[in-house]
Amino acid sequence: MERVAAYIRVSTTGQNEAGQRAAIKRWISGRGASDVVWYVDKTSARTLDRPQFKKLQSAVFHGEIDAVVVFKLDRISRTMKDGITVLADWLEQGVRLVAVSQEMDFSGLQGKVIAGLLFGLAEMENELRRERQREGIEAARKRGVYRDRCGRRKGSFKAKPERAVELKAKGMNTTEIATALGVSRMTVYRYLKQRRQRDQ
């Protein structure tokens, strides 16, 4: 029976671990796999130096894993170089990589070529995100609402819905508000929604 490793990575910006886990479970149940080991990291994809990822790598190179299943390819890495290196190493070990949301099995040469393209797109997306963050910080500085390295005013240790509403009223968009408060855009949306519901 195929030995499966399920790998989940969520960043510190409020990504949904439960959604990834549910999608992977559906894939697993649809194929009758029962011997599954879960690895979960809560960190950025900028580096491969992640605790659970290193455990996964060790299991792969000790011949304990036949297939690695992820929600999306960029859960492994957001850089083309690291992603291709990992995939090539796994394929050499006879391990296949499956991305359930993309419905792709990256086995063999064809899979490697497609994965290279997707890793490249993930890296480009990551760079665009960083550029938007830099633009958001610059816009927040110009408006006088960016004070420290954490993106908060000095003396403010926790972002609150009221603060998000204040910044929205000043004309800032959600990306700029998230940058200024040091939270995710989803958190900003939630703050604004809570305030709207309270005002109704």
| The CATH number of domain 4-123, selected from 3.40.605.10, 3.40.50.300, 3.40.50.1390, 3.30.300.30 | 3.40.50.1390
Task: Kindly list the domain boundaries of the chain, sorted by start residue.
Answer: 4-123, 143-199
Residue 99, both tokens = 């991305």
Q: Which residues are catalytic, by number?
A: 11
- Which of 172-187 are b and which e, b meaning 16 or more Cβ less than 10 Å from the residue's Cβ? bebbbbbbbbbbbbeb
- Average pLDDT of the residues of the chain: 76
pLDDT, tens only, 116-161: 555 555 566 666 666 666 666 666 666 665 555 444 444 343 456 7
- Quote the CA–CA distance of 200 and 194 in Å, as a whole number: 10
So what's the pLDDT on residue 169? 81
pLDDT, tens only, 98-114: 888 877 776 755 555 55
